[in-house]
Amino acid sequence: MKVNNHLPVGVFDSGVGGLTVVKEIFKQLPNESLVYFGDTARVPYGNKSKEVVEKFSLQILNFLHKQRVKLIVVACNTASAYALETIRKNTKLPVLDVIEPGAKKAVEITCNDKIGIIGTEGTIKSQAYDKAVNRFADIRDVRIFSQACPLFVPLVEEGWADDSHKKIVKDVAKKYLTPLKRLKIDSLILGCTHYPWLENIIAEIMGKKVKLVSSAYETACSVKETLYGEGMLSELKTVQHKFFFSDAPEKAIMFGNKYSVKYMDATNVKKIDIEAYSPK
Amino acid sequence: MKVNNHLPVGVFDSGVGGLTVVKEIFKQLPNESLVYFGDTARVPYGNKSKEVVEKFSLQILNFLHKQRVKLIVVACNTASAYALETIRKNTKLPVLDVIEPGAKKAVEITCNDKIGIIGTEGTIKSQAYDKAVNRFADIRDVRIFSQACPLFVPLVEEGWADDSHKKIVKDVAKKYLTPLKRLKIDSLILGCTHYPWLENIIAEIMGKKVKLVSSAYETACSVKETLYGEGMLSELKTVQHKFFFSDAPEKAIMFGNKYSVKYMDATNVKKIDIEAYSPK
């Protein structure tokens, strides 16, 4: 459907974490317009149940349909882990998640076939990465070691990913990562879109021999491949980006500016009532 | 209305924090039945806006009305700070909050008239404690020093209030509390119902000269006084307690058991869809 190539790409997350994916899409696909939704009224998703995350995701899908997007990126690992199937069942649009691209990359780069995965409690519990890694590994016997890091999201949201709080964040990270390090993994998937902001600290603890896989970067690559493959790339030179949040848009703007996410100003950022988008 | 004295007391919180208040009510009022609601699908409230917290609180009020409670305890400091007025406008029942009792106690016990307050971002921003303290202080010139501690709730919810994580929790607490200590306060209000679980660590940092005020304990006293004053005390010998959560009731049960909250078993704990209770 060539006619729809100028429509925006829809991206959603539980909050501001998915903006790491947005930043990568801006870099890799400068001609694409974007609609972003962050569920800041109900963040975080990581410690909530599958049933609740599915319900929230369907409301968001309905909202993105109304925004007339051409492709949907589930830029939240928890929603990808718990709700991907349900979302795909309820839309005709292509739906990309953040788990498959990260899992694929890890299988490509591991040499000793020992892959580590860190994420929220929900993402780890769902074993979605384990399944995806095994699918890409095919007949190879890849071993997977996973670890939930529930405090990483609050630490990032609190703005403690900066240098002045490095010691505490490193202590917390050591608690989570030391067991993984002992297992001699050679690649580690950052299975949460908040984690790229802690990448330096995680890299220091894991050491140079462990390669980190950012699901944000890999997902943007996957968006590019899909749009290209389906003949859906936009050729427009003027792009228009819209950001929606279910609460505190002004805080989201501050966060976006702090982490250099372009186009996030009061003109493009709006608040919506996501509960009003329950599917009939 | 003597006839209604056997009805339960309604207590609500953004999650499991309000269970500290429930524990105190069980101790002080063994003849009262209780209905508890914890909004675990949308926890935490502390970093959300007034508008959203008011909306959530009205849905919960509507739910508690349908449960036919005789009195409502807003056992969440953020909801007390942001939504108390709105709640009182929308019900004929007596509504108690967690802020007034703590503020009153602090004014009573301070000797140097320098009171510290710690709480979530929302509670601190609202200045609800400042206003309440000034109201009780009347003509006394009480000085108030406040500090938001956004990581305390995630640390408690992650179960890190135990001894094995003491060093990290103490480091985080020191970041928040050192500035308050330097100001030579002699009493400190724990302005969040999660914080009593970190009481030992907070006490160690603040030192023996600083008296801690738990809003959970003070609120239970206030419930007792109100029921007595209004002639609403129950004299029933068989009590019935019900606990409702908007997500993951099994996790709430585990949490309740870990922290010795009585009556929290599968028979008394249910999940409900709180979004369905929007007032017409």
Tell me what ipTM this predicted complex has. 0.83
Contact of A95 with A60, CB cutoff 8 Å: no
User: Which pairing describes strands A34-38 and A9-13: parallel, antiparallel, or unpaired?
Assistant: parallel
Q: Is B254 helix (H, G, I), strand (E, B) or coil?
A: helix
Q: What residues does each domain of chain A span? A: 2-97+218-277, 99-215
> Mean per-residue pLDDT for A147-174?
90
Given B49, B165, B175, which is nearest A168 (Cβ)?
B175
In sequence order, what DSSP letters do the residues of B52-105 get, joined into one string?
Answer: HHHHHHHHHHHHHHHTT-SEEEE--HHHHHHHHHHHHHT-SS-EEESHHHHHHH
**Alpha carbon distance A265, B208 (integer Å):** 48
Determine phi and psi for A144, rounding to 5 degrees: -120, 130
B136 to chain A, closest Cα gap in Å:
32
Q: Is A117 helix (H, G, I), strand (E, B) or coil?
A: strand
Query: CA-nearest residue of chain A to B43?
Result: A42
Closest CA relative to residue A157, chosen from B80, B153, B125: B153
Q: Which residues of A232-245 are buried (b: 16+ CB within 10 A; e: fewer)?
A: bebeeeebebbbbb
List pLDDT tens digits, range B213-262.
998 999 999 999 999 999 999 988 899 999 999 999 999 999 898 888 99
Angle between the B77-89 and B99-109 helix axes, to the nearest 10 degrees? 120
Query: CA-nearest residue of chain B to A164?
Result: B175
B151 to chain A, closest Cα gap in Å:
7
Q: What type of residue sits at position A46?
A: G
CATH for A2-97+218-277, options being 3.40.50.300, 1.10.275.10, 3.30.1020.10, 3.40.50.1860 = 3.40.50.1860
Given B48, B150, B167, which is nearest A248 (Cβ)?
B48
Contact of B11 with B25, CB cutoff 8 Å: yes
| Average pLDDT for chain A | 94
A226 to chain B, closest Cα gap in Å:
34
**Alpha carbon distance B277, A118 (integer Å):** 37
Beta bridge partners of B118: B147, B190
Q: Give the model's confidence band at A3: pLDDT under 50 very low, under 70 low, under 90 confident, else very high.
A: very low
Q: Which of B42, B255, B278 to mutate to test the interface with A (most CBs of A within 10 A)?
A: B42
CATH for B99-215, options being 3.40.50.1860, 3.40.50.300, 3.50.50.60, 1.10.3720.10 = 3.40.50.1860
Report the percentage of chain A scoring pLDDT > 90: 86
Q: How far is CA A90 from the centre of its chain?
A: 20
Burial of A164 (0-12, 13-18, 19+ CB in 10 A): exposed
Does this model's pTM top 0.90?
no
Contacts of A54 in chain B (CB under 8 A): none
DSSP state of A74: E
Contacts of B165 in chain A (CB under 8 A): 175
pLDDT greater than 70 at residue B181: yes
In this prediction, residue B93 carries a pLDDT of: 96
Contact of A121 with A47, CB cutoff 8 Å: yes
CA distances in angstroms from A171 to A191, B158, B170, listed in the order given: 20, 16, 12
Helix, strand and coil in chain B, % to nearest 5: 50, 15, 35
Contacts of B40 in chain A (CB under 8 A): 48
Q: Give the model's confidence band at B37: pLDDT under 50 very low, under 70 low, under 90 confident, else very high.
A: very high
**Alpha carbon distance A119, A152 (integer Å):** 9
DSSP state of A256: H
Highest-scoring range by mean pLDDT, A233-237, B7-11, B196-200: B7-11
**Alpha carbon distance A264, A273 (integer Å):** 19
Residues contacting B62, CB < 8 A, separation 6+: B277, B278, B279
Contact of A129 with A144, CB cutoff 8 Å: yes
Please check whether residue B159 touches A, CB under 8 A: no
DSSP state of A192: S
Residues contacting A27, CB < 8 A, separation 6+: A220
Residues contacting B267, CB < 8 A, separation 6+: none
Q: Is A89 helix (H, G, I), strand (E, B) or coil?
A: helix
In sequence order, what DSSP letters do the residues of B173-185 get, joined into one string?
Answer: HHHHHHHHHHTT-
Q: Which two three-digit tokens encode residue A204?
A: 């220091």
DSSP state of B25: H
Beta bridge partners of B9: B34, B71
Contact of A263 with A241, CB cutoff 8 Å: yes
Please check whether residue B151 touches A, CB under 8 A: yes
Please check whether residue A151 touches B, CB under 8 A: yes
B65 to chain A, closest Cα gap in Å:
22
pLDDT greater than 70 at residue B266: yes
Query: CA-nearest residue of chain A to B153?
Result: A154
List pLDDT tens digits, range B67-99.
999 999 999 999 999 999 999 999 999 999 999
Q: Which residues of A112-142 are buried (b: 16+ CB within 10 A; e: fewer)?
A: eebbbbbbbbbbbbbebbbebbbeebeeeeb
Q: Give the model's confidence band at A12: pLDDT under 50 very low, under 70 low, under 90 confident, else very high.
A: very high
